[in-house]
Amino acid sequence: MFLGFVKLKNMPNFKKFLNKKVIFIFVVLVILVGGGFFLWQSNKEIKGSPDDYVIKETAEGKFVENKKAGLVVKVPEGWEGIKIKDIEEGSFIVQTSDIEGKKINDVWMPPLAQGCGIEITINYKKLNFEEIEQDVKEIYGRLEIIDQKFEKIIVDNKEALKNDVDTKSAGPMVGVYVPLDDKVYSFTLIWGQDEKEKCIQEFDKFLETISIQ
């Protein structure tokens, strides 16, 4: 979904992904970058899989778990979750049931007409904040940046990089990147017209549920 979370530095041939199918698998999607959003490297070792993500129903709510990456997040109440397999190592989307917009291969493309979507992606690569910021700027630059800012925040008691960006090609997005050891955990938000405030409130709550082991 979305830009596929900005697939970051040291991931595959970027030109290969400059097509509508992948550049907007966001993430977000990546979100996502997202959006978002890490670049794939053609000779990198594939360490993850879409099948790493599972949904667990509990008395406390619905959770997405990735044991391999040590990640657990709570799905916002009333939202649904889907696996995205168009990205080699996979990503997971949580979205509102009223989401609307343009679809390519059953994946919603930003900007949305309605609803909220969050893409979760894990990059099995050791990157620092400077490298993440540099790669995010490069990816979104190809989408014609209107405005962009970065700030440090805390997610699950860990320092993270938050990126607010608006682009001509994919609209506005928010990405959060948590580098830890040899991984970067990426969470990218997109929203429908006039739903920014509602979606960001849900995103902030979502970030509070993240647990990284």
> What b/e string do you get for 8-37 counting C-beta neighbours within 10 Å, with b at 16 or more?
bbbbbeeeebeeeebbbbbbbbbbbbbbbb
Quick one: average pLDDT of 149-155? 98
Q: What phi and psi, each to the nearest 5 degrees, are found at residue 21?
A: -65, -45
Beta strand segments in the chain, E: 6-7, 38, 53-58, 61-66, 71-74, 80-84, 91-95, 100-104, 107-114, 116-123, 145-155, 158-167, 171-180, 183-191, 211-212
Lowest mean pLDDT of 12-21, 133-142, 161-170, 200-209, name the range: 12-21
Q: What is the model's pLDDT at position 30?
A: 39
Which run of H or of E encompasses 208? helix 196-208
Amino acid at 102: K
pLDDT for 102 beyond 70: yes
Least confident of 15-29, 90-104, 190-204: 15-29
The whole-number pLDDT of residue 10 equals: 44
- CA end-to-end span of the chain: 26
Of 74 and 43, more confident: 74
- pLDDT bin (cut points 50, 70, 90) of residue 87 is low
Buried b (16+ CB within 10 A) or exposed e, 103-140: eeeebbbbbbeebbbbbbbbbbbebeeebbbebbbebb
pLDDT digits over 162-207, tens only? Answer: 999 999 989 999 999 999 999 999 999 999 989 999 999 999 999 9
pLDDT > 70: what percent of the chain?
Answer: 75
Winning range, highest mean pLDDT, from 10-19, 46-55, 100-109: 46-55
pLDDT band, residue 14 (cuts 50/70/90): very low
| CA neighbor of 3 nearest in space, from 51, 38, 46 | 38
- Domain 6-41+51-212 top-level CATH class: alpha beta
With a cut of 60, say whether residue 22 has pLDDT above it: no
pLDDT tens figures, 103-120: 876 677 888 999 999 999
The answer to whether residue 122 scores a pLDDT higher than 70 is: yes
Report domain extents, the chain.
6-41+51-212
Strands 145-155 and 116-123: unpaired
DSSP bridge partners of 100: 114
pLDDT value at residue 104: 76
